Amino acid sequence: MAWIIAPASMETLKNPITIAGGGLAGLSLGIALCRHGLDVTLHEASTYPRHRVCGEFISGVSRETLETLGIADAFMDAKHHRSVAWFSGNDHLRDNLLPEPALAISRYLLDDRLQKSATALGVNLQTKSRRQMTPKAPGEVWTAGRKPAKGKWIGLKAHVRGINPKAQLEMHSGPLGYLGVTPVEDGWFNVCGLFRMRRDIDARHEELLPAYLSKNGNTELARRISTAEWREGSFTAVAGFALGLQATSPGMLSLGDSHAIIPPFTGNGMTMAFQSAETALPYLVAYANGEMTWDEACAQIAKQLHTRFEKRLKSAKLIHPLLFHTLARPLLKHAPLKPILSLIR
């Protein structure tokens, strides 16, 4: 008699998920999917720990989002900040309190914690691996960050000590751009700015930060940074990118900065990385469990990302140019903070 065995494992076979990009969106998504018992492979082009161009200031993320993703413990000792001092050039315009505390933690520490958590849970994390994604390929998610573009922006970041801050967050603006200063761990301060690229700035590497600040009219801050202690290896730069929705290949599922880059003055970039992973999670789980097709999952994710982020992206795009104009100084000085924040969260 021939036995026909229907393998019990057939009911438990799940569609695998492949993620390209081990930043915040990719790592948090990988952790969350693995917690649902799914097969996850994550490709990251570099290694951990590493410094990234990032303000490392997280405004508007909820405890619920972090718990849904299974990453709340990574923020156990993050700084909580509320006080903000605003500057235009060297002029101190105003002081404010944020309606709710924002979190601050370096990407050097946070990304390393998340990758260790992902590995411990069973994510197949492959570093020094550049994954070439195929549009419309089932189960492939692109979270590898900014798309190359003929953008006019340059982002600069370093960690420094000994700069005597005026508040838990300092915001400095001028005609070329703006920069934030906020404490992270171990007495270091994140100094991160976005500027219009200038060909006439004759500086390289670490000299770029004080050079751009001086050109921007923030000469006092440039002096403070130049005389501060710099954390070895912390200076990073990225240039040639565009803000807003990122260009993607048709049919490619993109999350985090690969989906959209919100102007960094909002403090919302890291938040959107986590929220995009949270938004995609139930549909990717449903696809992996065979409850919907890949096309159906991608369509639902695209719809929900649009609903969740459209207002804040449009509002940030409208507000962003005002930070560069001296005519907008009265607005920076007197505009109520809470209604503005409600538009960009």
Q: Considering the domain boundaries, does residue 309 fall inside one?
A: yes
Q: Considering the domain boundaries, does residue 299 fall inside one?
A: yes
User: How would you write the pLDDT of the chain (345 residues) with one tens digit per residue?
Assistant: 343 333 434 446 789 999 999 999 999 999 999 999 999 999 999 999 999 999 999 998 999 999 999 999 999 999 999 999 999 999 999 999 998 899 999 999 999 999 999 999 999 999 999 988 787 899 999 999 776 667 789 999 999 999 989 999 999 999 999 999 999 999 999 999 999 999 899 888 899 999 999 999 999 999 999 999 999 999 999 998 889 998 777 778 999 999 999 999 999 999 999 999 999 999 999 999 999 999 999 999 999 999 999 999 999 998 888 888 777 777 777 777 666 666 566
Four-CA torsion 304, 305, 310, 312, nearest 10 degrees: 120
Per-residue pLDDT at 15: 96
Cβ(178)–Cβ(219) below 8 Å: no
Q: Considering the domain boundaries, does residue 1 fall inside one?
A: no
Q: Which amino acid is at 116?
A: K
Structurally, the chain folds into a number of domains equal to 1
- In the block, which residue shows the tokens 């909002």? 266
Tokens of 309: 């982020």
Q: Considering the domain boundaries, does residue 247 fall inside one?
A: yes
Q: Considering the domain boundaries, does residue 210 fall inside one?
A: yes
Closest CA relative to residue 146, chosen from 52, 61, 212: 52
> β-strands 229-230, 260-261: how paired?
unpaired
Tokens of 181: 């200063």
Cβ(334)–Cβ(309) below 8 Å: no
Q: Considering the domain boundaries, does residue 84 fall inside one?
A: yes
- In sequence order, which residues have a C-beta less than 8 Å from that of residue 318 and are 6 or more positions away? none
- In the block, which residue shows the tokens 């920076």? 332
Q: Considering the domain boundaries, does residue 92 fall inside one?
A: yes
Q: What is the pTM of this model?
A: 0.92
Q: What mean pLDDT, rounded, does the chain reach?
A: 90
What CATH number is given to the structural domain containing 338? 3.50.50.60
Q: Considering the domain boundaries, does residue 275 fall inside one?
A: yes
- The boundaries of the domain holding residue 330 are 14-343
